[in-house]
Amino acid sequence: MKNQAFLKVLPATSPGLTAAEIGERVLPHLPQALFPQGAKAGWWKKGVQLDLEAKGLITPEKTKPLCWHLLR
């Protein structure tokens, strides 16, 4: 699972998606056994977002609310 679900839903162009939009779009890609009805998916999403930012794979836009997109 790792980061694939997050990367599947994130666009490669600006303005990207807000955290709420990412959360909605990523849920169908997460295993129900680990995240029944989306439980705890928010924590997973935040951890993946921070990991991908640190690796330079995604970037936040300077918008309100914040939006993220892929850098590749």
3-state helix, strand, coil in the chain (%, to 5): 45, 10, 40
Q: For position 11, what pLDDT does the model report?
A: 95
> 14-59, pLDDT tens digit by residue?
899 999 999 999 999 999 898 898 888 889 999 999 999 999 999 9
Domain ranges of the chain: 4-70
Tokens standing for residue 68? 């993220």
Q: For position 38, what pLDDT does the model report?
A: 84
Q: Edge-to-edge strand order for the sheet containing 17-18?
A: 17-18, 67-70, 58-60
Q: For position 1, what pLDDT does the model report?
A: 53
Q: For position 71, what pLDDT does the model report?
A: 92
